[in-house]
Structure 1
Amino acid sequence: MKIKKTAFITGISGMVGSHLADFIIENTDWNIVGLIRWRSPLENISSLTKRINNNDRISLVYGDLRDTVSIDKAIEKTKPDYLFHLAAQSYPLTSFEAPLDTLDTNIQGTVRVLEALKKYKNDCIVHICASSEVFGRVPKEKLPIDEECSFHPASPYAISKVGTDLVGRFYAEAYHMNIMTTRMFTHTGPRRGDVFAESSFAKQVAMIERGLIPPEVKVGNLNSLRTIADVRDAVRAYYLLVTVNPIPGEYYNIGGSHTCTIGDVLNKIISLSSYAGKIQIKEDASRLRPIDADLQIPNTKKFRDHTGWEPNIPFEKTIRDLLDYWREKVVKDGSSLLTR
């Protein structure tokens, strides 16, 4: 009898983790264990609730990246074949207000996960999710950004992801663990948190359409250049990362093919609205970072050549699906939503 593989997903209730769980359920026969905190909102995995309740290929364990004992117990109990480390304090702007929490969660949290794997499942195939933010402020002559571009982090979050990146590679080299690191560039779509620019825009537009707020969208820096990928393409990339000849210690830039400014993203969202032409744009100082990583254009050749991955979902579909996601949430939750 064939024994099914088990995939462990930290951050399963987040945008990326929930989409990855969907992908694994639909495209493999693997079992899934998801790590959540006791207070984690479960809305993003609501479509999997029946399976979770019936222990049908997916279960949840409680733990916190800042609590060594809980992480140790979760890995000891599970002993996964694959581990996708997606959980993090992932909001760059928040990291300026809570730098120590960000560093502890992201750097030391990664160490806790890898120490537990070293102890209980040293042969696990591990994906450590760093971030394109590690590159930070990149001069134009270094575009597009390849894997060997120097790090110049522009936020405490980015600094924490430099640590995450280096911790993953260190454990691969020092302890001969099968760990790979990714630097995913901007990725979005349904379930994107409203603290991120494009999702905040979509949420505000959806609220305007329902008459909940005046026709005015609050924005931060609209000139920052980004290459946009769809989250559903991103999780497919993560699956290929651990299944197509995984090479211990390797690190990859992954990203989409549509490059534009944050202002262009805002204009696309507004163009899809019934209020197009009626919405005012207002800069909100609280949405501006002290320093911004403003040229985020990746060279993804290394990963594409290794796995054959290509982004498939067009930019307009990604943005339309994001706006429709917020339209549904606004209808459901109405005036209880904040406009952040």
Structure 2
Amino acid sequence: MSERILITGADGFVGRALVRALRPCLRDQDRLFGAQRRADGSLDEGLQAVEFDLVDAGRIRQAIREVRPTCVVHLAAITAVQDAFLDRDQAWAVNCGGTRALGEAMLGEVPDARLVFVSTSEVYGGTFKLRASGLDEAALLDPANPYAASKAAADLLVGQMVRDGLRAVRFRPFNHTGPGQTERFVVPAFAAQIARIEAGLQPPTIRVGNLDACRDFLDVRDVVDAYRRAVLRHDLPSGIIFNLASGVPRRIGDVLTDLLARAQRPIAVERDPQRLRPSDTPVAYGHAERAAELLAWSPAIPWSQTLDDVLDDWRRRIAGGELA
């Protein structure tokens, strides 16, 4: 049987990494589709474009009817916490409402298709403050910001829709980074500033927010490897939840120190109050034994390589005049 895999957010940071991970696994008769809000040519070559907006339930249903996917990987979302704070209505409409519309379209048009839903570790929120150890999938959901709340609602909604017959797998990945990520996230924000300083485009001072928070970081290439494994599996229990985590909490200040050690010139550090996020969680890390057991997954890319690759990526982008 041929596979018809539809990826929402295929033109984003994680989506592009997933496409690269999936392509070597596809047979000649398989098809890979990328959903995007508008057909602007930004999809990777060879990906069949599907146009719909996650706030347009009618168009979503029409697209599912036309494509008839065997598997949908739902990555598209308002992913930046600061964006969700600025426009809470949009965050809820896209993250929760869009997920509902997609699930209902699948139930109505392709009831045998599988949904790989990508949630986030942010849904655990305040529970991180109550547990001295890392969290597993049984931890209480206690979202602490609008982004996390909208994703937690979508996560629970998918679980409820499983009871209606939706075939779904849920992932709760912890922080992930890698080449191609935007400056809206902490590791590339540091790397981009270092690259600009090295190129003489910025004074030799990095502006930072909270350096004391500890986070569980993964390489995006490891994360999409877990998604790839789920896409290729047809026997996973419907509704199952997988944390994706390294189990290692890394202090943000130490991440910066490691990046500065790779810099080609001395750089000072200056705290910027505008970069401090409200409701910050001091320590957040997780356990991923279930993914290890059922998906044979564990992080494979060394953290040092991730930092090297992110910094080198920004050096290339700055040298090429991108976002200089």
Distance 2:176 2:119 in 1: 13
Shift of 1:113: 0.7
- Contact map agreement 2:247 2:288 (CA 8 A) in 1: no
Confirm or deny that 1:196 pairs with 2:185.
yes
Aligned residue identity for 1:149: A
Task: Tell me what 1:311 maps to.
Answer: 299
Structure 1 ranges of 4+ moved more than 4 A:
none
Q: What residue ranges of structure 1 are gaps of 5+ in the alignment?
A: 52-57
Q: How does 1:76-91 map to 2 (within 5 A)?
A: 76-91=65-80
Aligned residue identity for 1:154: A
Confirm or deny that 1:262 pairs with 2:260.
no
- Contact map agreement 2:39 2:49 (CA 8 A) in 1: no
Task: Tell me what 1:38 maps to.
Answer: 38
Aligned residue identity for 1:36: Q
- Contact map agreement 1:258 1:315 (CA 8 A) in 2: no
Distance 2:279 2:107 in 1: 37
Q: Structure 2 residue aligned with 1:103, among 92, 101, 109?
A: 92
Distance 1:209 1:179 in 2: 46
Per-residue Cα deviation, 1:135-178 (whole angstroms, up to 9, x for no partner): 113135352101111122121001011111101111111x2121
Task: Tell me what 2:8 maps to.
Answer: 10
- Contact map agreement 2:115 2:169 (CA 8 A) in 1: yes
Q: How does 1:223-238 map to 2 (within 5 A)?
A: 223-238=212-227
Question: Aligned pair in 2 of structure 1 residues 327, 263: CA closer, same or farther (>3 Å)?
Answer: same
Q: How does 1:264-283 map to 2 (within 5 A)?
A: 264-275=254-265, 278-283=266-271
- Contact map agreement 1:187 1:255 (CA 8 A) in 2: no
Q: Structure 1 residue aligned with 2:287, among 299, 313, 321?
A: 299
Task: Tell me what 1:145 maps to.
Answer: 135
Aligned residue identity for 1:59: Q
Aligned residue identity for 2:148: A
Q: What residue ranges of structure 2 are gaps of 5+ in the alignment?
A: none
Distance 2:271 2:87 in 1: 23
Task: Tell me what 1:55 maps to.
Answer: none
Aligned residue identity for 1:65: L
Distance 1:196 1:294 in 2: 17
Task: Tell me what 1:160 maps to.
Answer: 150
Aligned positions, number: 320
Shift of 1:4: 2.5
Aligned residue identity for 2:20: D
Task: Tell me what 1:61 maps to.
Answer: 50
- Contact map agreement 1:136 1:292 (CA 8 A) in 2: no
Confirm or deny that 1:20 pairs with 2:18.
yes
RMSD: 1.6
Distance 1:15 1:228 in 2: 16
Per-residue Cα deviation, 1:264-319 (whole angstroms, up to 9, x for no partner): 111111111102xx211112122111111332211111121111111110001111
- Contact map agreement 2:7 2:34 (CA 8 A) in 1: yes
Distance 2:199 2:157 in 1: 46
Distance 2:99 2:120 in 1: 14
Aligned residue identity for 1:31: R
Task: Tell me what 1:331 maps to.
Answer: 319
- Contact map agreement 1:226 1:295 (CA 8 A) in 2: yes
TM-score (norm. length: structure 2): 0.94
Distance 2:131 2:32 in 1: 43
Distance 2:247 2:177 in 1: 13
- Contact map agreement 1:257 1:311 (CA 8 A) in 2: no
SS of the residue 2:320 aligns to:
helix
Distance 2:84 2:276 in 1: 13
Moved more, 140-149 or 4-13: 140-149
Distance 2:93 2:21 in 1: 30
Aligned residue identity for 1:82: C
Distance 2:194 2:225 in 1: 29
TM-score (norm. length: structure 1): 0.90
Matched-pair identity in %: 30
Distance 2:174 2:41 in 1: 25
Task: Tell me what 1:186 maps to.
Answer: 175
Task: Tell me what 1:288 maps to.
Answer: 276
